[in-house]
Amino acid sequence: MAAPFRHPHRVSYADCTVGNHLYHSRYLDLLEAARGEFLRSLGTTVLTWQDADYIFPVIEARVRYHFPARYDDWLTIEVRPTLVERVRLNFGHRILNQDGKLIIEAETFHCCTSRAEKPKRLPPVMMEKLSPLIGK
């Protein structure tokens, strides 16, 4: 199994609650940013796919919170594809802090559609690049 893609993030003060926890919904923003950088690392940006009439909306997200991230923590967001078939594309995620402590585990479930939101098959070049990287 290939190593996951890793994306760094420093927790900003604006991301946190008064109690100095990363606000729960901000984790989804971090996952989105990491997925975008993962696709960029494979040679094509999300905007390029969109311009070619492919979008990948999230249809479900599961997040399991293990430990809070706090202001100024240095996070590593791991991303790997877990399913690549026909119109489905799923990603597994983990976020760890600078001490290696597991912050969250998550999975996002996507479908491939046109910009008009009609389902369509994943682009063959995307399937070629992602399929060898599938892991759980």
Domain range holding 117?
A: 5-133
Position 121 scores a pLDDT of 97
Identify the CA nearest to 102 among candidates 68, 71, 70: 68
How many separate domains does the chain show? 1
Mean pLDDT per block of 10 residues along the chain (136 residues) reads 91 96 96 98 96 97 98 98 97 98 98 97 96 82
What CATH number is attached to the domain comprising 83?
Answer: 3.10.129.10
Position 1 scores a pLDDT of 61
The whole-model pTM stands at 0.94
For residue 18, which phi and psi values (nearest 5 degrees)? -60, -30
SS3 101: coil
- Separation CA 120–CA 49 (nearest Å): 13
Q: What ranges make up the beta strands (E) of the chain?
A: 5-10, 58-65, 74-85, 88-96, 102-111
Position 2 scores a pLDDT of 76
- Separation CA 74–CA 96 (nearest Å): 9
SS3 14: helix
